[in-house]
Amino acid sequence: MVDLPDPAAVAAVIKEVARTEALARFQNLLSHEISEKTPGDLVTVADLETERALNRALSSLLPGSVMVGEEAVGENPALLQALQGERPCWLIDPIDGTINYAAGVPLFACMVALIVAGEVVGGWIYDPVHDVMAMAEKGAGAYLNGRRVALGPEPALERLSGCLHLSGYDRDLAATAARNFDAVGPLLVLHCAGLEYQLMLQGRLHYALYLRTNPWDHAPGLLLLAEAGGHTARLDGSLYDINVINHPSPLLAAVGAGAWQNLRRGLFGMNNDL
């Protein structure tokens, strides 16, 4: 049995690294410190240095663990196989919302998940600009800045506010949602999944739909949401699997099962006979 580190100690490490590596460079990047991994997919020196620093610090907290960072996977996709291995694995998104970060927009987060035997057992999302830490340990609840989160009654469909990450990917689904926009509350996109998950924990956002479901973007948030009483599944009803990178059905995260079903039917025009 693996002796896991204290979640609070992990949170402290993430805070320190995010402040000294990511926040210290925010709005201070030079042009040559921003580049594209692929067209439209940015990486900065802050992403790289934050990931390296987290690798060192988290490895010290859990000797023998494996590091799987977004930037390292970009160089070597085979690293993802470690998520299914026997050794504990740290899944790291050093700066979620790099497009915002590179533009000087203060909407970004540092995300970390701990994977053991293919299962997400710990999740942390830190917003260094506003000093907000969300953390969860499987079976032990979700916490936001030290206070336990229990999501309250789910609003009616017309009051649900959320994020739709659809543009340029699924035209039919986007068209259906557009026809039904009047059925729901305000829509927005932060270009930062980590902050969107935090806002769901705060009750300021009620759902988010994602077509791109890389594990580093969602593993921490899905654990946090589940531990707070939320519900997440793909629109076809299947559960999210961190080992499945490409999937034809989008991921819908919501503040509760009732809200998830209402959105599936009322916004996306699907019946709930799953």
C-alpha 145/C-alpha 23 separation (Å) is 18
The residue among 29, 31, 80 whose CA lies nearest residue 50 is 29
* CA 121 vs CA 3, 38, 73, 224, 272: distances in Å: 12, 31, 21, 10, 30
Q: Please state the pTM of the whole predicted model.
A: 0.95
Q: What is the pLDDT of residues 180-200, one digit of tens each?
A: 989 999 988 899 999 999 999
The second-level CATH assignment, the architecture, of 7-149 is 2-Layer Sandwich (3.30)
The sign of the torsion formed by the CA atoms of 41, 163, 95, 4 equals negative
What are the residue ranges spanned by the domains of the chain?
A: 7-149, 157-266
C-alpha 247/C-alpha 240 separation (Å) is 10
Whether the predicted pLDDT of 125 surpasses 70: yes
Contact 261, 255 (CB under 8 A): no
Average pLDDT over residues 54-75: 95
CATH number of 157-266: 3.40.190.80
Q: What is the pLDDT of residues 154-167, one digit of tens each?
A: 999 999 999 998 76
